[in-house]
Amino acid sequence: MKALAKLKAEPGIWQTEVEKPVVGPNDVLIRIKKTAICGTDVHIYKWDEWAQNTIPHGMVVGHEYVGIVEGMGSEVRGFNVGDRVSGEGHITCGYCRNCRAGRVHLCRNTIGVGVNRPGSFAEYLVIPAYNAFKLPDNIPDNIAAIFDPFGNAVHTALSFDLVGEDVLITGAGPIGIMAAAVARHVGARHVVITDVNPYRLDLAMKMGATRAVDVSKQSLKDVMKELGMTEGFDVGLEMSGVPAAFRGMLDTMNHGGKIALLGIPPSDMAIDWNKVIFKGLVIKGIYGREMFETWYKMASLIQSGLDLTPMITHEMPMAEFQQGFDIMCSGQSGKVILNWS
């Protein structure tokens, strides 16, 4: 079958032929319809230090997708051939303390689809049936294809009560923008988003941010004054992985504020811990999505009218993957979709 794989230890991704994956007794076989390119795929494409230390030679990449169940192992219950699915990309062990307690997103033995095992940039994908998510009919394919990053946004945004609160989101990447849309949809008051990329700040305004701030041109504190915010943000969602952005967040949080950290800093990150202590801040790290409450909430949010369609700015046949990666690398995009059917 056709697939996109990391065939060389250098920047790039290559189309190749690989064996169709073998279906184990607890697995489903998914025929891929559409995939989206993730920031992680861009790290693998660019072959940064993390990718060099993580990605085995020849790995089939990709983990954001929608497809159709075409087969399943003998032990699988609850799925039928023809079911339309997306899937949770974190494969968990099932036997560690957290898995057995139902806190599966905290599994210490998590393995990543398209990172540690073959991914979805392929005609077929095999995952444990446990990880497959059956899609309600009223969720369009393009939206289903971005459920993985949407789930990062939903998990982070719904970590704290946002109703009537003032929310700061640092980083208007696809995940930050979707978090802004969620915050607005569930009833936050000010949803202020920061970035240094005007294209993405514009998209964030279309998606529900109430104020976009280019921190290379304008100070966040001035914007707060303008908005009449005298005390500070109640909730912070860090979605850039940029140390300066997190420091700016610590400066502008109100006392008793709550912060969820999703963005992955490049290395150790120094902060002024006195701000955390004397403001009495609560900080929560976020990894992936809750299985499967986040997935349930994603479907519900779309069904209750949250519209993610403006997030998908580019779509192309899979054969034009190089152009897709170029667009993602340029930063002049929301989500980019590759069509496999």
Instruction: By CB under 6 A, tell whether 210 contacts ligand NAD.
Output: no
Question: Residue 283, annotated ligand binder?
Answer: no
Residues 104-163 that bind ligand NAD (CB under 6 A): 152
Instruction: By CB under 6 A, tell whether 174 contacts ligand NAD.
Output: yes
> Which of 11, 26, 123, 7 lies closest to 78 in space, CA to CA?
26
Tell me whether residue 84 or residue 90 sits nearer to ligand NAD (CB atom). 90
| 175 token code pair | 């995940």
Is-catalytic flag, 57? Answer: no
CA distance 123 to 235: 41
CA distance 309 to 311: 5
Question: Residue 185, annotated ligand binder?
Answer: no
Question: Residue 263, annotated ligand binder?
Answer: yes
- Cβ-Cβ contacts under 8 Å for 300 (sequence gap 6 or more): none
Q: How far is the CB of 4 from ligand NAD (least distance, A)?
A: 18
CA distance 253 to 27: 45
Three-class secondary structure of residue 296 per DSSP: helix
* Candidate residues 89, 173, 257, 324; the one interacting with ligand NAD per rule CB under 6 A: 173
Pairing type for strands 253-261 and 282-285 reads parallel
Residues 235-264 that bind ligand NAD (CB under 6 A): 239-242, 244-245, 262-264
CA distance 169 to 214: 12
Question: What is the separation of C-alpha 83 from the centre of its chain, rounded to a whole number of angstroms?
Answer: 23
Which x/- pattern, by CB under 6 A, does the window 6-25 give for ligand NAD?
Answer: --------------------
* Mutual angle of helices 293-303 and 147-157, in 10-degree steps: 100
Active-site choice (35, 40, 92, 294): 40
Is-catalytic flag, 43? Answer: yes
Instruction: By CB under 6 A, tell whether 215 contacts ligand NAD.
Output: yes
- Per rule CB under 6 A, count of chain residues that contact ligand NAD: 27
Residues assigned a catalytic role: 40, 43
Judged by the rule CB under 6 A, the positions of this chain that interact with ligand NAD are 39, 152, 170-176, 194-197, 200, 215, 239-242, 244-245, 262-264, 286-288
For the annotated binding site for Zn(2+), the residues are 38, 63-64, 93, 96, 99, 107
